[in-house]
Amino acid sequence: MTRRIHLALHPYGVGGPGQHGLWKDPSVAKNASVDIGYYIRQAQAAEHALFDALIIVDSQFINATYPAHYLNRLEPLTLLSAVATHTRHLGLVGTASSTYNSPFNLARRFGSLDHISGGRAGWNVVTSFDTGTSRNYGLDEHLDYTTRYGRALESVRVVRGLWDSYEDDAFPADVERGVFLDPDKLHALNHAGEHFRVAGPLNLSRSPQGQPVIFQAGVSEEGRDLAAQVAEGIYAPGGTLEQAREYYADVKRRTAAAGRDPEHIKIFIHGGPIVRGTDELARRRAERIAEEDYDFHASLALLGRAFGAHDFSQYDLDAPFPDVAHLAERGGRTGAAKIIARAEAEKLTLRQVAETFAERKHSPFVGSPETVADTIGQWFDAGTFDGINLAFRNDEDLTRFVEDVLPLLQKRGLFRTEYEAETLRGNLGLPIPVNRHTAARQPVGAR
């Protein structure tokens, strides 16, 4: 089958990290982040454009300094259940923390979304690096990095085990024989592990795609290893073409080393295309967005997220960057380590670090329709991604991309002209997982 680009849409609402001025845009409704109509319209636009999925990210801790979208937004599974009834083909990927959810509840909620949508659900597994979340769940402190990732791996395995509680033919519903359930096709899990004890079975049958698709965003060594073991879709950090290519090759290599087919993990990079009539007009638009979003104090506050929502306003801005490495272990360790390393190497002050942190990392996909299509094609051919997680400034930018760039990609055979399947797995080219209990009864050669 011809290799084609996959596309997912990540709606910004009124603006997340780094988009400090988005809520002021007159084309963005001030209640966008809690307006289900906004998400339905975004989803329908993505489906009309033949995108693979809608991705809803999440976190469970805020303070008054957090980005506008974080302060007031809908819970992902509730949101996606509503969107499911207004779409037919679009995948629906919701974020949920393996650190602050029980596997049984996760299995039931995502399994329910999978049924509601007819087999279009995906779970974006996160371990939560906002340390304040712990206090919302009765814990004195956030779990350390290693524990969070160990818990995540076990959580996914338990959830998948629960999704296999019923074999596909467990419900004959034979009125003449009076048999609704074949009890031999119902299986308790009886899991007892390091982090969880879960008896099962789950009171929900398998969906048309067998199981929801597992997504993950692995950046650290632990994250990449977790992705290689369990992820079927992954949100990659992007960066330069060389950085993206290195990441892509590394994760595919780790996937093969874990005994899996590297084609069964689809790597999405982040992309915020800016499309205008000419390259110069697009560059000017990118510069204006950077100006609209620049807010030093908001960037200083955002810097603290990687260090457990640490308050950097208490320090002298023109003194050397403070020694806060110990705060990273229970926060965003990988991102924090990069910040510290750069501060030490360049002997930066706190002010300089905050300003550097605030620098907008421009998308490589900026320019005329032809330039953007060419660049996307070049990155794709260079082995940097299987798909792009698209985030647009506003509806106009989404429309420009769909109307001006997608036809060029389709003409070059890089993007679909119709959906291949009714399920998320089908459109991503992923296999339906065989129920483990059914597989155990098959001859070895037939598995």
Domains of the chain: 6-279+362-440 (3.20.20.30), 295-358 (no CATH)
Mean pLDDT confidence for 399-427: 98
Nearest to 63 by CA among 142, 134, 132: 132
Structure token pair of residue 305: 């997220």
The most confident of 97-101, 236-240, 405-409, by mean pLDDT: 405-409
Contact between 54 and 81 under an 8 Å Cβ cutoff? The reply is no
Question: Tens digits of per-residue pLDDT, 193-205?
Answer: 999 999 999 999 9
Of residues 337, 412, 326, the one with CA closest to residue 369:
412
Cβ contact 221:190 at 8 Å: no
pLDDT band for 77, please (50, 70, 90 cuts).
very high
What pTM, to 2 d.p., does this model score?
0.93
Range 56-72 average pLDDT: 92
Going from the C-alpha of 260 to that of each of 118, 155, 231, 251, the distances in angstroms are 26, 19, 10, 11
**Spatial CB neighbours of 281, under 8 Å, sequence gap ≥ 6:** none
pLDDT value for 102: 97
pLDDT greater than 90 at residue 89: yes
Section 384-391 average pLDDT: 97
Sign of the torsion formed by the C-alpha atoms of 384, 57, 129 and 314: positive
Categorize the per-residue pLDDT at 180 as very low, low, confident or very high, splitting at 50, 70 and 90: very high
pLDDT of residue 260: 97
Q: Can you give the pLDDT at residue 212?
A: 98
CA dist 22 and 360 (Å) reads 14
Place 87 in a pLDDT band, splitting at 50, 70 and 90.
very high
What whole-number distance in Å separates Cα of residue 187 and Cα of residue 200? 8
pLDDT of residue 13: 96
Structure tokens, 152: 């995540």
Which 3-state string (H, E, C) describes the chain? CCCCCEEEECCCCCCCCCCCCHHHCCCCCCCHHHCHHHHHHHHHHHHHCCCCEEEECCCCCCCCCCCHHHHCCCCHHHHHHHHHCCCCCCEEEEEEECCCCCHHHHHHHHHHHHHHHCCCEEEEEECCCCHHHHHHHCCCCCCCHHHHHHHHHHHHHHHHHHHCCECCCCCCCECCCCECCCHHHECCCCEECCCCEECCCCCCCCECCECCEEEECCCCHHHHHHHHHHCCEEEECCCCHHHHHHHHHHHHHHHHHCCCCHHHCEEEEEECCEECCCHHHHHHHHHHHHHHHCCHHHHHHHHHHHHCCCCHHHCCCCCECCCCHHHCCCCCHHHHHHHHHHHHHHCCEHHHHHHHHHCCCCCCCEECHHHHHHHHHHHHHCCCCCEEEECCCCHHHHHHHHHHHHHHHHHCCCCCCCCCCCCHHHHHCCCCCCCHHHHHHCCHHHC
> What whole-number distance in Å separates Cα of residue 210 and Cα of residue 111?
10
pLDDT average, residue stretch 53-71 = 93
What is the spatial distance between Cα 126 and Cα 149, in angstroms, rounded to a whole number?
9
Residue 447 pLDDT greater than 60, yes or no: no
CB atoms within 10 A of CB 102: 14
Q: Are strands 197-198 and 191-192 parallel, antiparallel or unpaired?
A: antiparallel
The structure tokens listed for 395 are 């509806």
pLDDT tens for each residue of 287-317: 999 999 988 888 898 888 878 778 899 999 9
Evaluate whether 307 touches 324 at the Cβ level (below 8 Å): yes
- pLDDT band of residue 329 (cuts 50, 70, 90) is low
Mean pLDDT for the stretch of residues 127-138: 83
* Mean per-residue pLDDT, 222-235: 93
pLDDT at 1 over 60: no
* Residue 409 confidence (pLDDT) above 80: yes
Rg (CA), the chain: 22
Strands 6-9 and 387-390: parallel
Q: Are 310 and 327 in contact (CB under 8 A)?
A: yes
Region 174-196: what's the mean pLDDT? Answer: 97
Q: Is the peptide bond before 183 cis (omega within 30 degrees of 0)?
A: no
Distance CA 357, CA 341 (A): 13
| pLDDT value of position 360 | 64
> How far out from the chain centre does Cα 128 lie?
13
Percent of residues, the chain, with pLDDT higher than 70: 97
- The answer to whether the CB of 267 falls within 8 A of the CB of 387 is yes
∠ Cα 108 142 148 (to 5°): 55
Phi, psi of 372 (to 5 degrees): -65, -45
